[in-house]
Amino acid sequence: MKSIWVMGLMSGTSLDGIDAALLKTDGIKIDAFGPGLMMPYDQDFRDHLRSALRAPFSSMNVLEQELTERHIHAVKTLMEKSSIQPDLIGFHGQTVYHRPRTSSSPAQSRQIGKGPSMRQSLGIPVVYDFRQQDIQHGGEGAPLVPIFHQALSQNLPKPLAIVNIGGVTNLTFLTEKGLYAGDVGPGCALIDDWMYQRLQVGYDDHGQTAAKGAVHGDLLTQWLKHPFFYQPFPKSLDRLSFVDCLEGCKNLNTPDGAATLTVFTAQALLQGLQSYGCQRVILTGGGRHNVFLKKILSEHLHVQTTEDLHWQGDLLEAQAFAYLAVRSLYNLPLTFPTTTGVKSSISGGKVLL
């Protein structure tokens, strides 16, 4: 299998913007990391995406086209910046709905983003719609990044947990014998939404607001009884799975609400890690910048961030979808019974050559 330059595109559940990154890989080993960029969404577009989360099955052709055009612009900008013409593009799109599987129904997940429009506009092969193949074969459709985490950390001592704190928190647990993964609880989505409700800002900068607040333990105790925490791994979450927690905070002041939601995020992660018995953690995702959250975790775990390992933390998910695109091209598996619950290891992604 030939190693090629591929560009990965990611717009995560934090709804903050587009990450784009170049990677040279054959879908197994990583040969080179190229440059990347982040293109923030303006507030109006973020609000439109938030509206889509509330009505994920309505017609959103205009929004989907605008999202695609913004991604196309990101591709063109990074190509100009890097002078690298990618051989392939991995286009995740924007998740607007994710419902985990139950005992009586399969998982459902919807990502918007027009792969064919991107292929036609750019004249470059595109891989998109990464999750449906997994779902059709009994998986959760998430998380998809663990196989990339395994490639990144092949020379690191095991056992090891790589924790991505985005809108939702998920972890990859790596041992010498296997790869395990799952969502463990809310990430920064609740904190971000709380800050936007109260102060019309997108997030709690470095956790400064939470650091000034008092934690309401009664709410934590109630939230940690959620049925999700009693389900076995692998398992997954929607961005809005814990949205009722915001209602529970309505009588709190802004710092107390931020503190309580941040500690909830930390406690959910700590509970999830107990299932794996792992104390060594590498933090990635936007949540690694939250100093207050990191301090709580550091009281219980040996915590490193992507920067400690000289990984490009803000580009990691975009790099992951570059890697996954090449695996899709070569029909290599993306998901596994121990990462999504799929019946057997399977590839995925629609390839437009």
Q: What is the pTM of this model?
A: 0.94
Domains contained in the chain, CATH given = 4-144+315-352 (3.30.420.40), 146-309 (3.30.420.40)
Please tell me what DSSP assigns to residue 311.
-
- H helix runs in the chain, sequence order: 43-54, 61-82, 115-122, 132-136, 146-152, 189-199, 208-211, 217-223, 244-248, 254-274, 291-298, 316-329
Q: How far apart are CA 323 and CA 94, in angstroms?
A: 18
Greater model confidence, 1 or 128? 128
- At 78-122, the pLDDT tens digits run 999 999 999 999 999 999 999 998 888 999 999 999 999 999 999
Query: What does pLDDT average to over the chain?
Result: 95
Model pLDDT, residue 253: 98
Strands 88-99 and 4-11, sheet pairing: parallel
- 64 touches 100 (CB < 8 A): no
Please tell me what DSSP assigns to residue 312.
-
